Chains A and B, each alone.
Chain A
Amino acid sequence: MRVEIRISGLGGQGVVLAGYILGKAAVYDGKNVVQTQSYGAEARGSAAKSELIISDEKIGFPMVRKCDILVAMSREAVKKNLKDLKKNGILLIDSSYVKSEVKAEAKIFKIQATHIAEKLYGQKIYANMVMLGALTKITNIVNENSMEQAIKNVVPKETIIKNIQAYKKGIEII
């Protein structure tokens, strides 16, 4: 198998962290993984993205050109990245921000990630974990337990419980 994923949003939404965790989980599953990222010089608010290639084979070119899975956490992210989603690919959008109808030849999943994060866990920053849960459930690209283990090993200790809860919520709502 070979899957190319782009997680896009704004700086501060944790798209790079989400990519890191997803990649780590795939490594736990024994896959080859390359994860790259791009963000602006600003700490928050400018476009950010994290890209992963997960494969059983050796990975050459490290950048994602056409993705099988696109996660878009902001309106700008949809606008900018939709053209790179393969036909009949999987699109996950954070419908807390992306309210207008998205037209694409893709399997579209609308996730109220930011809304859920804020309402249930008190902070928007858990939205990336809700998305990871949904992504895991929808795509099965990584083992659910590997993902849980990766979250535990990456996020700060005092935030593990909430991050895991948000991740599990993401699985549940699909």
Chain B
Amino acid sequence: MKMVKPGVYFWQGNEACAEGAITAGCRFFAGYPITPASEIAEHMAKRLPQIGGIAIQMEDEMASIGAVIGASWAGAKAMTATSGPGFSLMQESIGYAFMTETPCVVVDVQRLGPSTGQATKCGQGDVMQSRWGTHGDHAAIVLAPNSVQEMFDLTIKAFNLAEKYRTPVIILADATIAHMREKITVPSLEEIEIINRKKPEADEKAFFGFEEVPPMPAVGEGFNVPVTGSTHNEYGIRFTADPMVHRKLVERLNSKIENHVEEIAEVETYNFDDCKIGIVSFGCTSRAVPEAVEEAEKRGVKAGYIRLKTIWPFPEKKVEIMAEKAETIIVPEINLKQLFYEVERASKGLAKVVPLNKIGGGELITPEELLNKILEAAN
């Protein structure tokens, strides 16, 4: 068994994530087991040696992300997978990966926190941690799958974005999507777009600037590559006091993502620009939305939705368009209003934004609960 054959499978979300990574070219995995992400490590440990890759169980999550960053600089596409508590431990190095422009993928399969909370239950409480978990001025790319198919597809996309923009990309999954099994179709390799990092020409020396996304050599290819999390110029030389060098670097690191929101931020929409009641959701919660919207329409309420496949950068223009027509926008999420304020900000006061929150026991917001909220808002 080498690469997975194209065809129809009945996979668990975590399995699909691992196979998506392998399809994208991931050949290095380092991780530390944690519910509900362990099956990703388990599958990578089984599969990577079969195709010439390496999977390591590290001593903890900090070491895991460290090994992933090192592997990326050695030329590999690399990934780690964890859940909330481990994701917290990885934050410092995610900032390091951002500052050193190291392409890598971090999967956070959300469970119910804070702390060890209800460890086997589903949650969506890491929305803000995925955006602001590390310190300093930074941009984040965060993808939110809502099916087993998307655990495969968006993992490939995560690697492509990481390679294209030379930045860490986070997959914000959740226990429901990661543990459920669904029918999934694996396309043939020819149908899948794979992006690889830009390599430098033989005489190039600037791997940290001059271009929006500079070329990246691998250690051992003969280039002189100083890699540092401290402020550095285009050649990687440290400047720990010069304001101009810092401004130039950190502004470029942010703008290389912010300038491409339209390209990065993917959404699924239904009547989003012409509805009375709009819904903005992501991940497991979004699975309740189409049924609720359909039922609302049967009752004469014009409803529509935006489903975020990319949470960060936040697709605020889409939300603003929704707010121009909609009277009310509902934000269902199984956390306490983490996405809500972002939707409210993007709505610019054009629509009333109301939260719908539920936490505990891994219970999802049901289509009935959402429908009630829609009908309540419509009357």
The chain A residues found within 8 Å of chain B, CB to CB, are: 20, 23-24, 27, 31-41, 59-63, 65
Contact = CB atoms under 8 A, between A and B. Distances in A.
At the interface, is chain A mostly helix, strand, loop or mixed? Answer: mixed
Nearest to A25: B10
Given A27-B8, A27-B10, A36-B176, A60 B181 contact: no
A98 to B, nearest CB: 26
B166 interface: no
Contacts of A38: 362
Contact of A65 (B180, B183, B366): B366
Interface string B278-303: 00000010011111000000000000
Contacts of A34: 180-182
A2 B8 CA distance: 20
B179 interface: yes
B180 A62 contact: yes
B254 interface: no
Contacts of A59: 182
Interface residues of B, number: 22
Interface string B254-293: 0000000000000000000000000000001001111100
Interface string B352-369: 000000000010101110
B120 A60 contact: no
A31 B10 CA distance: 11
Given A27-B8, A60-B287, A60-B367, A20 B120 contact: no
Given A23-B10, A24-B10, A65-B366, A35 B287 contact: no
Contacts of B284: 62
Contact of A61 (B10, B119, B182, B288): B288
Name which of A24, A32, A60 has the most chain B CB atoms within 10 A of its CB.
Answer: A60
- Chain B interface SS verdict (over half): mixed
A62 B177 CA distance: 9
Given A38-B362, A60-B288, A27 B183 contact: yes
Contact of A33 (B120, B181, B287): B181
A27 B183 CA distance: 7
Contacts of A60: 287-291, 367
A62 B288 CA distance: 8
A35 B8 CA distance: 16
Nearest to B370: A61
Contacts of A31: 183
Looking at B176, B180, B181, B362, the one whose CB has the most chain A CB atoms below 10 A away is B181
A35 B367 contact: no
Given A24-B10, A61-B367, 13 more contacts: A20-B181, A23-B10, A23-B181, A27-B183, A33-B181, A34-B181, A35-B180, A35-B181, A36-B176, A39-B120, A41-B119, A60-B287, A62-B182
Interface string B176-198: 10011111000000000000000
A61 B289 CA distance: 8
B12 to A, nearest CB: 9
Contacts of B9: 27
Contacts of B289: 60
6 contacts: A20-B181, A27-B8, A27-B9, A59-B182, A60-B367, A65-B366
